A and B are shown apart, each in its own frame.
Chain A
Amino acid sequence: MSERLSQQPQSSQPPVLQLQQLTRVHGSGATEVHALRGINLDVFPGELVAVMGPSGSGKSTLLTIAGGLDVPTSGRVIVENTDITTADRKTLAALRRRSIGYVFQDYNLIPALTAAENVALPRELDGVSARKARGEAVAALQEMELGHLADRFPDEMSGGQQQRVAIARALVGDRRLVLADEPTGALDSETGESVLALLRSRCDAGAAGILVTHEPRFAAWADRVVFLRDGAVVDQTVRSQADSLLSGQAAEL
Chain B
Amino acid sequence: MPRSLQRWLPRTAYSVYILSMSIRHGLLALLEHGPRYGSQLRSEFESRTGATWPLNVGQVYTTLNRLERDGMVAQSGEDEAGHALYAITDTGRSELRSWFETPVDRSSPPRDELAIKLAMAVGAPGVDIRAVIQSQRHHTVNAMQDYTRLKAQALAAIESGGSQERDDVAWLLVLEQLIFQTEAEARWLDHCEVRLIRLAAAAGRETGTAAPPAPVTQAPAAAAGPRRPRPD
Which residues in A have some Cβ–Cβ distance to B below 8 Å? 1, 26, 31, 33-35, 37, 52-61, 197, 200, 216-217, 219-223, 225, 227, 229-230, 232, 234-235, 237-240, 242, 245-247, 250-251, 253
Contact = CB atoms under 8 A, between A and B. Distances in A.
Contacts of B51: 246-247, 250
The B interface, classified by DSSP as helix, strand, loop or mixed, is helix
A222 B141 CA distance: 10
Interface string B42-60: 0000000011111000000
A246 B216 contact: no
Contacts of A52: 141
B102 to A, nearest CB: 23
B179 A217 contact: yes
Given A216-B144, A216-B186, A230-B222, A56 B138 contact: no
Contacts of B54: 247, 250-251
Contacts of B227: 33, 56, 230
Contact of A229 (B50, B141, B219, B228): B219
Contact of B187 (A35, A37, A216): A216
A223 B51 CA distance: 24
Nearest to B181: A253
Contact of B218 (A1, A56, A216, A237): A1
Given A200-B152, A230-B223, A235-B134, A54 B190 contact: yes
B183 A217 contact: yes
10 A-B pairs closest in CB distance: A220-B144, A216-B186, A220-B148, A55-B232, A230-B223, A237-B142, A245-B146, A242-B146, A242-B149, A217-B183
